[in-house]
Structure formats: structure tokens, C-alpha cells
Structure 1
């Protein structure tokens, strides 16, 4: 390898590694921020949170790679041009194509690596992350009784107290408990001067022992009106000790956080598995269409009350069949027919929704297969936009290159999502939808490469002015001749 190639690779790899990890960190933090409400306050062990972040990092690595390549290519070529190194290289008779040749080979290698990542590691990380996230969401918040407020986390109870004290902070002062387990409102209230919380390790019950208090309960029924409730009797008593056993099993582990209940998500499958699942889904879809077609055929074979021109109905059918009924019976027949028609329309709407859902699922699997391949080549496509762009703008650093890289990738991502949505709705094919962003942006990369090779800018302002002047002169000449 020549010294120039080593220098070019070094100029590219240093910003690439830095930008890749910075972008990956930002993407992980953004995803964590969106999921923060589901994780906070649930007593999740730090080990599981780190696992969650690790799975997120593996899932977002294929997205961070193209952004890192785009940004580092703009920075590397921008630095070379800004420091007049590119001018020196060109003066030595070395073309831009020769300069970026080692970077193209490296980008092809990263694209292949990205494909392997998307096909093997990404599905595994998606499987682990989505199931872990689902298990965390189902987990109830950790039981934490707060003084001075009504604690309603415990199902069936509302507990309020003034102060929590003691070595283990299990002693409560001036306790007020509303027993809501009967679902009739606040009809049972217990107050006490002191409360003691005790619970054995691993037990699903928490024992609350109340000292020196009062008990009040209204004997009402749920269906009673407010006036009737006033007339019903109530029980009142005092006690020196009152024990309540509260079920807190829902706050314990509801199962392992490593349970894997979702396994058929399209993001959890490799390309081979996606192809196999797509074929099975296609078979079910064809069977559904076949049954639907046979049903509609039988429905169209039903003989109607009236005969129309070009109809296949038997000529012996009497078109004036309603004339055999009285006015009252005619109304009954017509109403029943309308009701039957309404039921058929509602059933058809339900069948139509089922048809769309099955077709959308099939399109989703097909799109994912092609998208894995097209997105792997996103590294190469974005490199051919970033490298000539950096050579043209002649600006290194993180400022302008960062803004341009984010803008270009947002455009790429937006077009990709547009293609995905259109292909899911069967507006375009899954193959075309998955390659839509590449088809649109690749010509721009080729155009920028040609202009950078010739030493031209993104666009020539002088030529724009010249063409505009020519257009106005032609228009002026035509006006004067008239």
C-alpha cells in the first residue's frame, strides 16, 4: 500500500470512529429518553438497564454506520481541500478517483459488514430488546409509601399518613386508610394513631398493624341512589389493635425480565427466515382470497327479484313478485331486505379490513427482505455524496459538515420511510419501495462526483446568470419585433 493511500485512510478513519460513536451515543440516548417513563420508578436492576442499552446500541449500529461514513467523508475530503492538500495532490497529476479509491474499498467492506450485522446481529438484538422492554412495561412500579399524600398504588386501598419513622422506616404516624376493595366508593375508613409495616422476604402479603384507632363502614349497595344511601345504617367501632393483610404480589416479579414472548416480529428474523415466513403468509393470503372469491361467486349466483337486460337470471322468474303481497307485507319484505343488505355490507367491510391487514403484513415481510440489502449499500451511496461534497465545499471540522450530513441523512431516511409506507399500502412494489431512496439519491452522488472531478462547484452561478440573461434578451427581441 502506497503512502498516499495510508494517509487518506488515516484521514478518513480518525473522524469516522469519532463520529460513529458520537452518533451511536446520541441515538441510544434518544431511544432511552423515549422509553424512560416505562423504566423509571419500577425498581429495575441496573444490570437489566445496561442490557437494555446494549441491545439498543446493537439495534442502532446499522443506522449509525451510514451517518458516520457520510459525516467522516465530508470532513476528511473537506480537511484535505481546506489545507490545500487536495490541490497539491491534483497538481501531482493524481485524480480525485484515485484519491478516493482506498476509501471506496473500505466503504464496500463496511457495507458488507453492515449487511452481516443487519442479517444476524440486528434480529437477535431486536428479539432481546423488544421482549425486555415489554417485560419492563408490564412490571408495576416499586411500592413506595409517601407521607402527606394518598398512596393509591396498592390495589383496593388508599393510604395516607403524616410521618414515616423508625430504624427501618416501617412505623407510620396518624394513619388513615380507605378500603376500596368492594368497588362501592369510600364507604369503609380506618384511622389509627400508629401503624407498623411488616413483611417477610419473598412473601406476597404485607401486614399493616394499626394501634389505637377507629373503624367506620357504611352498609350500602352499589345500585342505591344518593337519597337511599343517606337512610342506610353505618357501623362504628374503636380498637386498640387492628391487623390488615394486603396482597402485594403484583409488586413482586411478574416473571423473568428475560422471558421471550414475541418472536415473529419482522425485525427479529434473518433474510432466510423472512423469506420462509413471507411464503407461508402468501399461502394463507392466497387461501383467504380464494375463499373470498368463492363466497362472492355464490353470492352473485343468488337469483334476484327483478330481471335486467344482459342478465344471467332464469327467464321464468316473475319480475313482479312483490305484487303478490299486501302493502303491509311489502313493507316487511323491504325492511327485512334492507336489514339483510346492511348486514352484508358490514360483513364485507370487516372482510375488506382483514384483506388489507393480510396484504399489508405480506408487503411488510417482502419490503424488509429488500430493505436489508438496500440499506447495507446506504454506506456506499452516502459516501459518493459526502466525499465529492467535502471536496467541493472545502470545509473540515464538525460545523458545516455536521449540518450537511444530518440534512442529507434526514432526506434519505424520509424517502426510505415514504417508500416503506407506499409499499405497505400496495401503492408501489416492495422491491421499488425498498430501493426508492437509493434510486433518488444515487444520481446526485454521481453528479457531485463528476463536478468535483472537474473542479467545479455544486452549481455555477455565472452560468445561471448567463442563461437568465439570454432568456430575457430573447424575450425582449420578440417584444420589439412585434
Structure 2
């Protein structure tokens, strides 16, 4: 009996989980779509590259969407069972709240592990892949924007001119470069051939020139240097950010857990950079654990529902979810200011929400509704009763 019951509860939770996951990700993605439009229009991003950009952005969204969807799914599934009197029937057979915990714990553990995998593996890989894709698009834009026989001024402080382009190899023939980024010492380069190359590891786009001369003038001194091979790093024109995230610098989002600790050891945990890396290291572990706790919290919140009354588990769950992230943000801010150790500041919200979850679970298991939740429920029901067409939590016929 318990095994079949656990399978039944798990399947009841999975359906609203996937639905909530899709809806929440869609909402979160819309918030990042506006800055992404600049990239789409400026670089002429095709459908394939657009979908790849969306896929690379998804792991960052999953840090928030998975815990929220997991908690919502538990509340929705268990509230439905309460309203259909299934929970009452289970209580009549001696199955209380604590015996309903195992399938919820399995769901919570699975979603928290998925969140952790997204945080420590998918986010660094997605960050690097997105930046590499950006460099590829920037390279293609520059490459396609250079027309034979015309001076190109699309690159900041750099003027390019080419005689011809080999359409098969995309190699430039007869290259002229005027580099005015050095202020009073401009460079003039003339080369037989040239080719654009991207360096994802250094986040650079380079112009590799062969068989040419470099001319430099500084006040009364003029230099002429002949070279067989010369490389010029080109400045990338805007946009250099997507949704406030730099696409030309790897940053902490592109580092795995081991690399974050290496940066902390190199710069010191008290330095601004080392402190930032240490906070990111703990954040990637604390958020999945927080998602696990919030998912467990969804069970006692759903059990507060009563047949025939409007369920308040979902709004209460969303409220507690927001409170959790407010506490997490506050703890992170205090840790950044140095008033609390990093571990204490980042994990404080998890400790507080875990204590609240244990307290609420024990009281609901004893059929005791906490006083503050009872008052909050009565207030919410009173407000709902004032809405047109609603009375006592039910729709008027």
C-alpha cells in the first residue's frame, strides 16, 4: 500500500511541476528578452543562433524556476487531494502527514540535485558557450561588413580596406589598416593577406596579417617594421552586455567550483575579488538546499486547505518564497559588506526557513494551525469575500 500511494503522490506532483516550470521560465525569460533584442537586431541573429542563446541563458533561470516550480507543484497536488477528500480518507486509515513525506522528499531531493547540477555545471558551460557564440556572431558581422574596394569604419577607431576577398576561404587580399587607438602614435599597416579569427579563451577577435609592413609615427620619430605575421586585436562594438551580463569577460559565472576556490586562494578571501568568488561558491550550494527546504514546506502549507474553502496554499507558498529570497539577498548583502562571515550570511536564510518548516510540519501533523497563519487565512478569505461574485471563498451561483 505505501509504495503504490507514494507512486500515486509522486505522479500527482510531477504534472503541475512541469507545467509550473514552463510557465515560470517563460515569465523569467521575458524579463531578459528586451536586452536580448539589441543583440538580435545589431547582429542579425538567425533562428538557430537565437535558440542557442536561449538555451545558454536557461541554466541561470533554472536556479530560480526549479525551486519555485517544485514548491508550487507540491502545494497544487496536495491541495487537490485535500479538496477531493483523498487526504481525509488517508487520515481515516491512519496515514497522517508524516507518512506522506517520503514521496515529497524524493521530489525535493531530485529537484534540488537538478538545481545544483545547473548551478555548478550548466551555468559555467552556458556562460562560456554564450560568450563564444557572441564572438562568432561579432566576427561574422565584421567579416560580412568589409566590402572589397571600400573603407570600413564600423570598428571603433580602426579603419579597414581590402582589395579582394577569397569567398571560399574568406581570406582578405591586399589589406590596409589604420589603427588610431594609440592616441598620438597611430599605426598604419599594409599586408598582403589577412584573416579574422576568434579567440574564445581570451574573448578576443583578432585580425591576423601576413607579409606586410607596419608604420608608426610618434612626434618626430617614424618607424617602419616589416613582418611575416602580425596580429591585431579588434575592439568589439556594442552591445557588449546581455541583460546586464558582460559577454566579453568570463567573470565568476564562467568558473566552476574548483576554479572559484582557486581564485579565492589567489586573491585572498578578504579582497573584493576573492570575497565575490567565495560568495558565488556558497550561493551555488545554498540555493539548491533552499529549494529542497521550500519543497518540503509546500506539504504542510497544502494541508492547511479545507474542503469547500478557497485554498490559500499557493499564495502563502509564493509569499514565503519571496520572504526566503529577501532573507537570502539580505544575508548576501551583509556578507558582501563584511559584517558577517560569508558562510553565515549566505546560509542564514536556509537555517531560518528550515526551522520554520520543521515547526509548521510538526504543528500541522498534530492538526494544529499556527495562530498567525490562521489569522492570515481569515484575513485573506475576508478580502476574497468582498470580490464581486465570490462569497465565503466560493463562487455565487
TM-score bucket of the superposed structures, by smaller chain: 0.5 to 0.7
Q: 1:439 to 1:462 in 2, by over 3 A?
A: closer
State the shift of 1:68 in Å.
0.8
Distance verdict in 2 for CA 1:271–1:19, change over 3 Å: same
Distance in 2, Cα, partners of 1:399 & 1:30: 29
- Residue among 417, 423, 428 paired with 2:340: 428
Q: What's the counterpart of residue 267 of structure 2? A: 281
The answer to which of 38-47 and 88-97 deviates more is 38-47
Q: 1:130 and 1:378, CA in 2 relative to 1: closer, same or farther beyond 3 A?
A: farther
Larger of the two Rg values belongs to structure: 1
More strand by share: 2
TM-aligned CA distance change 1:265 to 1:41, over 3 Å: closer
Q: Is the 8 A contact 1:62 1:118 kept in 2?
A: yes
The structure-2 alpha-carbon separation of the partners of 1:72 and 1:254, relative to structure 1 and needing over 3 Å to count, comes to farther
Residues 336-383 of structure 1, C-alpha deviations (whole Å, 9 max, x = no match): xxxxxxxxxxxxxxxxxxxxxx72211111112222221121221101
CA distance in 2, matches of 1:263, 1:433: 27
Which residue number corresponds to residue 56 of structure 2?
A: 55
Aligned match of 1:387: 299
| Structure 1 segment 35-50 matched on structure 2, within 5 A | 35-50=36-51
1:419 aligns with: 331
Q: Does 1:120 align with 2:121?
A: yes
Please say if residues 392 and 457 of structure 1, whose CA atoms lie closer than 8 Å, have aligned partners that are also in contact.
Answer: yes
Change over 3 Å in CA distance of 1:394–1:273 after alignment to 2: farther
Alpha carbons of structure 1 residues 390 and 77: separation in structure 2 relative to 1, 3 Å: same
CA distance, structure 2, for counterparts of residue 108 and residue 462 of structure 1:
30
1:74 — aligned with what?
A: 75
Deviations 1:21-53 (A, max 9, x none): 221222223212232234324322322211100
Assess, with a 3 A threshold, how the Cα gap between structure 1 residues 135 and 408 changes in structure 2: closer, same or farther.
Answer: farther
Three-state SS of the structure 2 residue aligned to 1:381 is helix
| SS in structure 2 of the partner of residue 2 of structure 1 | helix
Of 457, 463, 466, 2:369 maps to: 457
Kindly state the Cα deviation for residue 69 of structure 1 after the two structures are TM-superposed.
0.8
Over 3 Å counting, the alpha-carbon distance change for 1:257 and 1:23 in structure 2 is: farther
In structure 1, the residue corresponding to 2:109 is in which secondary structure?
helix
- Equivalents in 1 of 2:32, 2:375: separation in Å? 47
Return closer, same or farther for 1:66/1:462 CA change in 2, 3 Å cut-off: closer
Are the counterparts in 2 of residues 77 and 391 from structure 1 also a CA contact under 8 Å? Answer: yes
The equivalent residue for 1:225 is none
Unaligned segments of structure 1, at least 5 residues: 144-153, 157-198, 205-252, 286-357, 465-482
> Take 1:99 and 1:399, find their aligned partners in 2: how far apart are those partners?
19
Within 2, Cα distance between the matches of 1:365 and 1:395?
A: 49
Question: Aligned equivalents of 2:311 and 2:50: distance in 1?
Answer: 33
Q: What residue in structure 2 maps to residue 407 of structure 1?
A: 319
Change (3 A) 1:3 1:37: same
TM-score (norm 2): 0.63
| Residue of structure 1 equivalent to 2:252 | 266
- The answer to whether the 8 Å contact 1:67/1:405 transfers is no
Relative to structure 1, the CA distance from residue 257 to residue 54 in structure 2 (aligned partners, 3 Å threshold; closer, same or farther) is: farther
